[in-house]
Structure 1
């Protein structure tokens, strides 16, 4: 009988999640039913949105159920199949993460083609929802144009590192990012095509953004919220656009977050701020796959990852992500 090691949520975190909020279990899997497949995961994704699913507050996706195995993106190989659509040996992506072996109806798994020299984990990063979030948010929500000055918060993270590269490849005039350490700031310009960067731990974000983008910004891609959003509102040129992707600075707060004090700039500078959920932009997926696939194949996009080994360490990888310990995409290698 096949066995799957899985991570389950057992209590809803108050503030920062702790090890007491989860448990690791071993689940015996039944024989495959007709139309089902069994997959040995190679890599599992951890992402900031998962913090929201650990609570039961209203959100765009249902919360994790207590006592049930958590889910998220994963990529793996089919090791057994009773489906005509999916064969043994196929590489597949799916949403049955937080476990080493996944099993279910074949419709829950999408077959993808391996790319020579590219790890399968790229389907969780540049070629997956992470890359698509950056692409759709930058080009279709914020409507970046050639020559625009672009500011990205959380710029060395999974999405942020993709936004910088896409902006440069699509002709941005200047790309500026913020990150949490001098090492990450160096990676922005050395690896992710940014023109300038600063560490938000080094001083006042508003002042540092003015120095990095003295002529103002046209586009803001927000992964952080808080003081970064306020800084962007201060630096926007007339007609600026913001894609609001996340607010990781507030996800573990137990107190009500204060809003920016310069919201009047939205009116006086005719700004557009739009929150977005990438799942509502699927019409752009074919164009994304074509462009990003070409960039990856040509070596034009860096695929940096922070890799944690062992499914039993998935929760630790998630906490590391929330603390900003990753550069590029954070994945668990099963």
Structure 2
């Protein structure tokens, strides 16, 4: 479409220039004919005045007026190509000013394109820097999730161990209760034997056996008490470990929240950078189109300038030939 408009403008301009040249070539002939007609009219008037007045003074005045008119017409006839040449030179000056203005616009446009390209490069560098950071944050978040999973599994194992210890502690307490009952039974039996002391040696042996059994039960009771203390200490350690794991989980959860917030901020920043990048690309395309249009307009003006220069040369040649032959 632009090429068709350019061709139409060039054709119209060439037609105008040809018409101007034709008018310039035919104008001296037309002026000469007009001058001859005026001379004939003046001669007719002069003859009529001579016939009417028949005086020499009036005749001289009329002749002087006629000569002045002829000189003015000749002067106009001689200066007309120069006036046309001056007009075309003014038009050339305007075209040159317009070309300078277009060149300045193209220069500004090129500077703006350069700035946009630098901005585009900067945005691409920022994207290249932010993408590894985003990947690093994702990896850290994944590692935190895995660590939380491991800690939860460890916490579950500790809870199971704590449950087993509690069951064992309960069993030990039940055994202690049974031993205490057994000791009480043995003591009661010994008291009964002591009450039945007048019996024979058999009773004495039974008493010795009961004493031995009582000693064994006391030792067993002491062992169970020690075991109970150990279990209580172990239970306390497990509780402390559970508290420590819970604290670590809370810290990891807070760190995970911070990483998620940072990840969201990076995503928003990436989206804004992408939008800005698209906007810069769109502006770059528009500026390139505008530059293309300005270049086409510049070429058109250069063609017009060349045609006008050709017309000026033709006018100069015509003026030279005209004045030379005149």
Question: Is TM > 0.5 for Structure 1 vs Structure 2?
Answer: no
Shorter-normalised TM-score: what interval? Answer: under 0.3
Structure number with higher helix proportion: 2
Q: Which has the higher contact order (CA 8 A, sep 6+)?
A: 2
Greater Rg, structure 1 or structure 2? Answer: 2
TM-score normalized with structure 2 length: 0.14
Structure number with higher strand proportion: 1
